[in-house]
A and B are shown apart, each in its own frame.
Chain A
């Protein structure tokens, strides 16, 4: 439970003089006005605003000539600061060890901190005192501007009010005066959000998921195109970060959006004209293919530390050349990706895909599902893919090849995307419950498949390792890593039966048939 420190932020109506407001409050409260403070800082957050989601606010400013990060504390508390190196972006590992990093790292995960907006302004602090001259409420009158190309954009002047722990009543009295007597209203969003918007960004961050409101009776082609446009938006929003290689998640989110788009095109194929559909599916498959090697290496590197952590220390040290080789390959792969995604082929493919989504899809007669209600088509596909998965899973036994599980996983992704993108068409929680059960199954299938792919990829490094310094030792240590991957793969397979049994239980089968029936 958080401590009870209430806080509110009010917008100052246009034309209201902050000085007049201070006088107004001074007549009603014992007010101590402190000297004004200038601020000039850059708002930092991950592209998807993870810090904002965690209720945190991080700023970069210059303190005694050094770039300094300041993490806002609870209302009325000073920020936690740390001197950092100047960089275009910071991963958690780029921050100096200490409390600031300890607090930020869990929130940002693998994402990079990026400069999202620059803010300049003045803050006039004041305090409400009680009879003992003790501070019982803190106020900050803030006038800010976003620094944008070619000048400054003024932001809404605001009055921030923070309570003091254990002194709720004076806070409530002040807020009551501000809202009833002074007629102030809540400030629209935070200074950071306003500044990001003023700088042309989206305060909600670069999207990774889409939520498209659909009507059950909507034409399937219309609904599918609406979802595909939203997904295309995600691809486009994540492209610059992918090209600039700001962090691994831009590429990840781009690829997931492409994969979801391919899934929609496949599952709703009868709503589209066959010829153009084939071309667009080919185009998206190509995007997926040219971005695949970089993502595979990202996964290897992101999981590397955990993978080798259980090995004895000398083995871990011997693996340094492997990591270096993976990093080199990753750099090469990203260079190739960049070349492809900035090249003519991509421009033509993506342009063609956008025109396909924005253009006329042609007469309904060669698209049998086009005019059908989307709830009927999506329901049919969910039932069918689920039934197919049940059949495939039931056929899996101890002697089944790894490919059987891989194929099942691919179907699972199709089902998941259908449920996530179209599940909102059905009332109740069935779609969400299914996603949960499916995720549990997919985790096992994913581990099974990923460990095999990783082991193959590591084995493939052997020829290159042979020639480098420390190569023979690295090869020996690599054997232990591959062995560990094999063990994890076998363990995943052992967990499969239980997870599948839950996913394909008779009661769930009946529920799926009932919920998604035509």
Chain B
């Protein structure tokens, strides 16, 4: 099982949108896919019409006292299951802080899922914390949405350096541009320059689009509720790149 985490220290940059769309596309390709909503805000869980409740809460889950397969819920998307969010995840850092081998904990939760799934997608909460460090340890790839600006690129570089230096077996870190407004010259220039110049920036860029915003209303990923839209095409291109990088 490959593990991909959508991560950014900032919120509202398109992590959950990327996670749910990529998960839906992977499942449609026949890959057995699970999405773990790690964000206590539970946006992905809401989107899939699943109750944001994990029996025993985050503590028991992370400490291995809950059978993770009992918590899984099938979504409306065939082949895609969800490990729902829980409001107790807001204390996940404290739970991890008190646990031994804390950076291995997320990986341990995922271990029993490996025989059932080809791909796990982790939708991370915005922050840099013990949770994110444990996610970095478990992931094969970090997918980092960036809003096109010079500053966000600098943050991405800091993240890449951190992962490279601090994680024992570092995941591949791949950025992609998100919420790209084609009318803004700065957006156009940054996207064009960086996605051409840098190997760790995906060529696919997700536009700022109404369809993406409508996901919460439709309660379905863009690739499902507006499959012909520009945003859906962009997510498909992004998934193709991710899939090829992961070799799955």
Contacts and interface: CB of A to CB of B under 8 A. Distances in A.
A101 B71 CA distance: 30
B133 interface: no
- The DSSP consensus for interface residues of chain A is loop
Interface in A128-146: 132-135, 138
B95 interface: no
Contact of A166 (B27, B74, B78, B79): B74
Contacts of A5: 74
A73 B32 contact: yes
A158 B109 CA distance: 39
A340 to B, nearest CB: 45
Contact of A165 (B30, B31, B73): B73
A219 to B, nearest CB: 52
Interface string A323-360: 00000000000000000000000000000000000000
Interface stretch (A75-83, A404-412, A426-434): A75-83
A342 B118 CA distance: 48
B152 interface: no
A138 B78 contact: yes
A71 B27 CA distance: 13
B49 A79 contact: no
B69 A164 contact: no
Q: Determine the interface band of chain B, counting residues with CB < 8 A from chain A.
A: 20 to 34
A99 to B, nearest CB: 6
Interface in A99-128: 99-100, 127
A99 B76 contact: no
B128 interface: no
A76 B69 CA distance: 18
Given A99-B248, A165-B81, A134 B76 contact: yes
B114 interface: no
Given A73-B32, A77-B78, A134 B49 contact: yes
Interface string A476-502: 000000000000000000000000000
B49 A165 contact: no
A76 B30 CA distance: 11
Contacts, number: 65
A134 B31 contact: no
Contacts of A77: 27, 30, 32, 78-79
A70 B73 CA distance: 25
Contact of B29 (A81, A127, A135): A81
A1 interface: yes
A79 B75 CA distance: 16
B28 interface: yes
B116 A3 contact: yes
B72 interface: yes
Given A77-B32, A78-B79, A133-B49, A167 B72 contact: no
A78 B248 contact: no
A164 B50 CA distance: 12
Given A132-B49, A165-B81, A79 B74 contact: no
Given A98-B248, A100-B30, A138-B78, 10 more contacts: A3-B81, A73-B32, A73-B79, A99-B118, A99-B248, A134-B49, A134-B76, A135-B75, A166-B73, A166-B74
Interface of A: 1-5, 70-71, 73-74, 76-81, 98-100, 127, 132-135, 138, 163-167
22 contacts: A3-B81, A3-B116, A4-B69, A70-B30, A73-B30, A73-B32, A77-B32, A78-B27, A78-B28, A78-B29, A78-B30, A78-B79, A79-B30, A80-B31, A100-B30, A134-B48, A134-B50, A138-B78, A164-B73, A164-B74, A165-B74, A166-B71
Interface of B: 27-32, 48-50, 69, 71-76, 78-79, 81, 116, 118, 219, 248
